[in-house]
Amino acid sequence: MHAPRHRTLSPDKAAIFKKIDALMPELETIYIDLHQNPELSMQEVRTAGIAAAWMKKHGFEVHEKIGKTGVVALLKNGDGPVILLRADMDGLPVKEKTDLDYASAQTGVDRFGQSVSIMHACGHDFHVTWLMAVGRLLSENRDTWKGTVMAVFQPAEEIGAGARAMLEDGMVKRFPKPTVSLGQHVIPMPAGTIGYKSGVAMSAADSWEVKLFGRGAHGSKPQNSIDPVVMAASTVMRLQTVVSREVAMADSAVVTVGTLQSGFNENVIPDEALLRLNIRTFKENVRQRVLASVKRIIDSEAQASGAPKPPEYSVISQFPLTVNDEAATQRTMEGIGAFFGAERVVTVEPASGSEDFGLFGTAWNVPSVFWVIGGTDPELFARVQNGEDPSVMPVNHSPFYAPMLHPTLRTGVEAMLAASYAWLD
């Protein structure tokens, strides 16, 4: 892809960006409220209600409870393109340790039935606020554009279930076909900058839950057992060879065992162990090979241990590759660059994180563009780039992750508004 060509905003559109100043106090209040009140995946009732009420107030036709808690808000303004603008709403089962004055103290019950703390550790509070702001600005300035805006407030991105749930609830049949699907995400990058990648932009991700079966016994008589703890430990260690010995150097993959649970007492050998795994890849052929290797190793370790029955597998989540259409990315970034200037719009490497955003474009067979917004103190980012310990710079999903409120709040509004005008022009 060529670097985005220089474009300039027309005077009437440039004037709209100046109106963001007057919105900032209200947007900051909304953001802080959302940050203090995060909700887990598929539980975003309060957040969805706030978004729905705001969009109704500003003239959108609002449809609620799409895919359980999703919101679709439509604003029709004559003939023209249909742009889908997406924000995800869910928080994470993470105990916040940011020391912010408005840190979350919320708790809840997660999808596994566990009592957990809840935090917006991935910036979805920013995403919701940005889309609410852009919805209002476009509604109040309809003389500057023609077409239809479809604002999608999506649940359950963190578990890869929200986009699917909304689509399975009939989005494709119930709402107009978009011309393009647009989304953005805050990440650790210098605040005030925008990053993009044409083509494959984010990895595919597969998460499995695996039960291993053994035979319980007294801790003093291991000869009477088939120990699932040893079976699980051996499995975890052997899985480390998948990437190091079965994936080519020119390719890449990640295999992570995030959960290993077995037993309760030190002198009781249990009869089951539980593993939860996450696999990330950038190519479908690599994905298929890695998944097959992971299953082969787990099955083989169980057999080698004399397990009374084969492991049981269940899919926890599945994220597709996030692929940005080249022509649509060019057009979108030209629009964003028209406002920010070329020095603030930079190319980035494909991210190992994953998203379900691309499912909307795939379902309608339309181009998608997903870009990132920097939220990190530029001086801190530069120090880490120059060799300082990376642990001083918290990343998404960390209990210490707290993107700078300013200028991140404004930058995200400006970027999504500029991207919208690139298509509503």
- Mean pLDDT across the chain: 96
Query: Looking at residue 7, what is its pLDDT?
Result: 65
Known binding residues for Mn(2+): 122, 124, 158, 185
Give me 217's structure tokens: 């016994």
* Cis amide linkage into residue 407, ω under 30° from 0: yes
d(CA 152, CA 330): 23
What letter does residue 92 receive in the DSSP assignment? B
Query: Looking at residue 4, what is its pLDDT?
Result: 56
52-56, 91-95, 373-377, 389-393: least confidently modelled range: 389-393
Q: Are 123 and 31 in contact (CB under 8 A)?
A: no
- Mean pLDDT within 398-425: 97
Q: What is the pLDDT of residues 233-277, one digit of tens each?
A: 999 999 999 999 999 999 999 999 999 999 999 999 999 999 999
Give me 257's structure tokens: 């065992």
Give the total residue count for the chain. 425
Domains and CATH numbers, the chain: 11-202+321-424 (3.40.630.10), 204-318 (3.30.70.360)
Q: Which residues pair with 148 in a beta bridge?
A: 76, 82
Identify each DSSP E strand in 53-146 by its residue range: 61-66, 70-77, 82-88, 107-109, 115-117
Query: Looking at residue 387, what is its pLDDT?
Result: 94
d(CA 17, CA 410): 10
Known binding residues: 122, 124, 158, 185
Helix ranges (H only) for 222-317 are 228-246, 284-304
Q: What is the pLDDT of residues 336-384, one digit of tens each?
A: 999 999 899 999 999 999 999 999 999 999 999 999 999 999 999 999 9
Give me 387's structure tokens: 């060799």
- Mean pLDDT within 391-405: 96
Which helix (H) or strand (E) segment holds residue 419: the answer is helix 405-424
pLDDT score of 5 more than 80: no
Q: Are 422 and 337 in contact (CB under 8 A)?
A: no
The amino acid sitting at 346 is V
Q: What is the pLDDT of residues 60-108, one digit of tens each?
A: 999 999 999 999 999 999 999 999 999 999 999 999 999 999 999 999 9
d(CA 417, CA 16): 9
- Mean pLDDT within 186-207: 97
d(CA 40, CA 133): 23
What letter does residue 140 receive in the DSSP assignment? H
Give me 130's structure tokens: 């940005």
